Structure 1
């Protein structure tokens, strides 16, 4: 029985290596994986396109029903309707408690980054990042939530804020919905 297991493992290893060759053994091996891969890769792109095709009126209704502040205007040059949404920008400022030792500060930094990553993954934050100087304002996070209270609560739950190493200052901020950074 043990010898049979070794033979099966050997056959699997040999087949694995032979399937990794650049030159396929038959035409069918080339066609089938390519079709499957193209189908899998095309589906998310189609879904993304469909999401982007949500009409301005549908998007406005959805955002309003979720409690977001919005307004729109017509761009004179393109004649497109531009939808503006209120976001909240949290300024992360140097806090009063900076007595943590190097190890404690490093752990807080890890927890801080995990918190910001979680905010992004949950869809609450769209952009976060530190400033490039050593000033009192250490960084920003832009929250994509409907209320100042919610943005303040999420920013206040940052481990660096809770430890007093950072303090927050949150302001409403308007941006065109769906426009990318350049």
Structure 2
């Protein structure tokens, strides 16, 4: 179908996204506990980036839904991204939850200059 319309790409780069959210019933923590948890969360995400598993990562700001906290692009499949996100200290503590998805973008529109290997895969939209 996409081949019949010139403005719809035929090839896509498919990457794995993880969107972090604050659950409605996140546990209450003291300021000191929150500071410690945030430090461990950031260290965990930084280690995944150093290992080349996360290629882009960061918090949201000025979003329409404040429960959305941040997003990461992973250089692995969705199942592995979920497994790794389950190990995030903030997820373990119940302060964050997440959604994992594949994001299809027109081939060649994304670049990850700091990535040490391939990110996602090239696919063709099924007819």
The TM-score, its normalising length taken from structure 2, stands at 0.69
Whether 1:144 and 2:72 are equivalent positions in the alignment is: no
Structure 1 pair 125–83 and aligned structure 2 pair: CA distance change class (3 A): farther
The answer for unaligned runs of 5 or more in structure 2 is 1-5, 113-127
What CA distance in whole angstroms lies between the structure 2 residues aligned with 1:131 and 1:179?
Answer: 19
Q: CA deviation digits over 1:54-81, x for unaligned, max 9?
A: xxxxxxxxxxxxxxxxxxxxxx9xxxxx
**Residue in structure 1 matching 2:42, options 113, 116, 121:** 113
- If each structure's strand is expressed as a fraction of its own residues, which one has the higher value? 2
Larger radius of gyration: 1
What CA distance in whole angstroms lies between the structure 2 residues aligned with 1:172 and 1:165?
Answer: 24
SS in 2 for 1:100: coil
Residues 83-122 of structure 1: pairs in structure 2 closer than 5 A: 84-95=12-23, 96-122=25-51
- If each structure's helix is expressed as a fraction of its own residues, which one has the higher value? 1
Q: CA deviation digits over 1:69-124, x for unaligned, max 9?
A: xxxxxxx9xxxxx9744221111000222311100110010011001101111111
Greater relative contact order (CA < 8 Å, ≥ 6 in sequence): 2
Question: How well do the aligned residues superpose, as a CA RMSD in angstroms?
Answer: 2.4
The TM-score, its normalising length taken from structure 1, stands at 0.49
What CA distance in whole angstroms lies between the structure 2 residues aligned with 1:123 and 1:100?
Answer: 31
